[in-house]
């Protein structure tokens, strides 16, 4: 604590990201990155863009990238907003759509950045308790006082809601914004992007960090009615005109255009996930039905913290949350087949 900190800096409880260890030769299954490299076309594009034009500011409206996203999702261009990772899009959305004295609703077990943004902006919120099996009790998200936000599929539980369930949440909050954070949607659940044509209160947020292997480039986007997008632009343009740099703009565009590579890599991850899921069940883990690129697992007997520590000693990083209700669970990102083999060997030994 410093006497120079503002009340805001004093009052905030920052988000703590998963570790990014500096050593080589570790197996990194702790931050849900994609184990496959970005598309070769992305790398080629980035190399070509590393040129003298970097002296110039990038396009503040990200016109070309916005157009590619709009075409990809069959929405008008003014239904798209891009940002520096979906975290930034989320941060702007909290400012654009939620008010101080009206409680926002989100699940009690969810992406831990939501309460951080709410606290930073002094927004009040209510954490809706998930059912025993960690499914979302959708009716409890109806008629939310200040709006709703949840990931679909949810993180860290890995469970997905059906398209109809998400639609019912949107329908039952006609006067408030419902934000659906689809960070993991490409690994097996249905996107509700098509609903933006019908509901002016729905904002869908996606990222290129997971299914497009571009966590390091920092690109995320939102799709929603043009008035919601204008709200986001008002916040962005009061903060930083150039949230995406020249490399990010062209790299993201190339990634979205290479649909073959995208489909090939995400299918491989889904396949590995299903195999590892079965192997973990054989080792007496309870494995939640994942629609993501990670598994949320609990062993019948062994302590999650102990397994986490033992794996780490052996150079395998998974995520452990020392939080009520989930402190017996581990979140394991799906890596390469070889990496998952090493994980399973280690687990057999530890258990
Ligand atoms: C549910 C969820 N939303 C958003 C993000 C942020 O992704 P990014 O800022 O890399 O786009 C993450 C990252 O792990 C996440 O799990």
255 Cβ neighbours under 8 A, 6+ residues apart = 38, 39, 41, 42, 208, 212, 213, 214, 262
Condensed to tens digits (0 to 9), the pLDDT of residues 138-168 reads 999 999 999 999 999 999 999 999 999 999 9
Domain count, the chain: 2
Mutate which of 31, 183, 214, 220 for ligand 1? The one with the most ligand atoms within 8 Å of its CB, which is 183
Is residue 58 lining ligand 1, measured as CB closer than 6 Å? no
Nearest CA to ligand 1 atom 3: 183
> 155 is written with which tokens?
């993180």
Is residue 106 lining ligand 1, measured as CB closer than 6 Å? no
DSSP summary character for residue 66: H
State residue 260's pLDDT score: 98
> 339 is written with which tokens?
């990496």
Contact 8, 185 (CB under 8 A): no
Is residue 221 lining ligand 1, measured as CB closer than 6 Å? no
State residue 42's pLDDT score: 98
State residue 284's pLDDT score: 98
Please choose, from the candidates 167, 168, 214, 173, the residue with its C-alpha nearest in 3D space to the C-alpha of residue 191: 167
Is residue 111 lining ligand 1, measured as CB closer than 6 Å? yes
- Between the CA of 311 and the centroid of ligand 1 the distance, in Å, is 24
* CATH assignment of the domain containing 343: 3.90.1150.10
State residue 221's pLDDT score: 98
**Does residue 13 form part of some domain?**
no
136 Cβ neighbours under 8 A, 6+ residues apart = 107, 128, 130, 150, 154, 159, 161, 165
State residue 16's pLDDT score: 87
Condensed to tens digits (0 to 9), the pLDDT of residues 252-311 reads 999 999 999 999 999 999 999 999 999 999 999 999 999 999 999 999 999 999 999 999
> 87 is written with which tokens?
């975290």
Maximum Cα interatomic distance, the chain, rounded to a whole number of Å: 59
State residue 23's pLDDT score: 80
> 95 is written with which tokens?
């400012």
Mean pLDDT, each 10-residue run in order, the chain (351 residues):
93 87 89 98 98 98 98 98 98 97 97 96 97 98 97 98 98 98 97 98 98 98 98 97 98 98 98 98 98 98 97 96 95 98 97 93
Domain limit, last residue, from 203, 226, 257? 257
Question: Which neighbouring-strand residues pair with 149?
Answer: 179
DSSP summary character for residue 224: E
- Tell me which residue range forms the domain holding 251: 40-257
Tell me, yes or no, whether 239 and 325 share the same domain: no
Domain limit, last residue, from 205, 234, 257? 257
Tell me, yes or no, whether 49 and 195 share the same domain: yes
Domain limit, last residue, from 238, 257, 276? 257
Tell me, yes or no, whether 50 and 90 share the same domain: yes
Tell me, yes or no, whether 321 and 201 share the same domain: no
State residue 288's pLDDT score: 98
Ligand 1 atom showing the smallest separation from residue 111 Cα: 1
Ligand 1 atom showing the smallest separation from residue 88 Cα: 9
* CATH assignment of the domain containing 75: 3.40.640.10
State residue 22's pLDDT score: 82
């Amino acid at each position: 604590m410093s006497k120079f900190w503002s009340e805001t800096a004093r009052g905030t409880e920052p988000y703590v990201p998963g570790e990014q260890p500096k050593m080589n030769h570790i197996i990194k299954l702790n931050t849900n990155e994609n184990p496959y490299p970005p598309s070769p076309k992305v790398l080629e594009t980035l190399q070509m863009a590393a040129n003298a034009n970097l002296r110039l500011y990038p396009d503040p409206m990200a016109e070309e990238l916005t157009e590619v996203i709009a075409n990809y999702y069959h929405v008008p261009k003014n239904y798209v907003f891009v940002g520096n990772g979906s975290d930034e899009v989320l941060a702007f959305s909290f400012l654009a759509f939620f008010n101080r004295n009206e409680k926002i609703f989100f699940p009690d077990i969810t992406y831990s950045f939501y309460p951080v943004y709410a606290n930073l902006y002094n927004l009040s919120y209510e954490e809706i308790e998930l059912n025993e099996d960690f499914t979302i009790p959708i009716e409890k998200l109806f008629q939310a006082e200040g709006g709703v936000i949840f990931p679909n599929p949810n993180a860290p539980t890995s469970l997905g809601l059906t398209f109809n369930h998400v639609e019912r949440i949107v329908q039952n909050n006609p006067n408030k914004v419902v934000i659906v954070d689809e960070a993991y949607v490409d690994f097996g659940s249905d996107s509700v992007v098509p609903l933006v044509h019908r509901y002016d209160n729905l904002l869908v947020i996606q990222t290129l960090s997971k299914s497009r292997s571009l966590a390091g480039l920092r690109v995320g986007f939102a799709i929603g009615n043009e008035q919601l997008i204008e709200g986001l632009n008002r916040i962005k343009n009061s903060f930083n005109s150039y949230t995406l740099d020249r490399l990010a703009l062209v790299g993201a565009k190339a990634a979205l255009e290479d649909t073959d590579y995208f489909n090939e890599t995400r299918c491989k991850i889904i396949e590995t996930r299903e195999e590892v899921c079965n192997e973990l069940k054989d080792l007496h883990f309870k494995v939640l039905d994942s629609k993501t690129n990670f598994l949320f697992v609990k062993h019948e007997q062994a302590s999650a913290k102990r397994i986490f520590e033992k794996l780490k000693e052996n150079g395998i990083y998974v995520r452990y949350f020392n939080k009520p209700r989930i402190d017996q669970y581990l979140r394991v990102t799906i890596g390469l087949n070889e990496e998952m083999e090493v994980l399973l060997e280690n687990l057999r030994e530890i258990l």
